[in-house]
A and B are shown apart, each in its own frame.
Chain A
Amino acid sequence: SYVLTQPPSVSEAPGKTATITCGGDNIGIKSVHWYQQKPGQAPLLVIFSDGGRPSGIPVRFSGSNSGNTATLMISRVEVGDEADYYCQVWDSRGDHPVFGGGTKLTVL
């Protein structure tokens, strides 16, 4: 099965740009999606298909994907953005989604 690698944790100061990476073999040819999960809540889709934003997601959230790394960027990061973030792609061989291990974002 396809493997996605995320850093366990990322820290950034309020107002700066937080960057969370998702590594995978030639991930640039796949569509990458990102979910935000705050404590005690279900995951929430924040980025789909590399850089699309669902309705209601702030423009501060953006994504890119190239080569072996996809990236979620949160500009002007706020304390309220603290959460676990998961990347996801589709495993076409197994016909199912694959999740990265998740990255805990701390804003301090």
Chain B
Amino acid sequence: QVQLVQSGDEVKKPGASVKVSCKTSTFSSITYGFHWVRQAPGQGLEWMGWINPRNGNTNYADNVHGRVTMTTDASTRTTYMELTGLRSDDTAIYYCTHWGEGNSFLDYWGQGTLVTVTS
């Protein structure tokens, strides 16, 4: 069982940046990486990117590439997602998810962090 605990909700102005954290119970051998998935109000799930904490490799979705940075801190078992140049359509719940070794599915999810972008 992997537990993911995310940081609290945020309210930001357009053009600002937000950094969401996700503390995990383990960076064990079963962990291949972490994904970030967001969900706009009333909408479906949108993949944003993933990071492999072992080597720092990342893969970002085209629609946020250039504005998103994912990092990890192994000493605290924490993964971060920073999004810059916030716009109103970035308003969403942001989820971090666990990606197990050899899997193509996301087996554990954080509780979500609501980021509201408003002037």
A: residues with CB less than 8 A from B are 31, 33, 35, 42-45, 48-49, 54, 86, 88-90, 94-102
Contacts and interface: CB of A to CB of B under 8 A. Distances in A.
Residue from B44, B45, B111 having most chain A Cβ neighbours under 10 A: B45
B104 A33 contact: yes
A99 B45 contact: yes
Residue from B35, B47, B103, B111 having most chain A Cβ neighbours under 10 A: B47
Nearest to A55: B1
Given A95-B59, A96-B61, A97-B35, A42 B109 contact: yes
A35 B61 CA distance: 21
B95 A43 contact: yes
Nearest to B35: A97
B109 A43 contact: yes
Contact of B105 (A49, A96, A100): A49
Interface in B60-112: 61, 95, 103-112
Contacts of A88: 105-106
Contacts of A97: 35, 47, 104-106
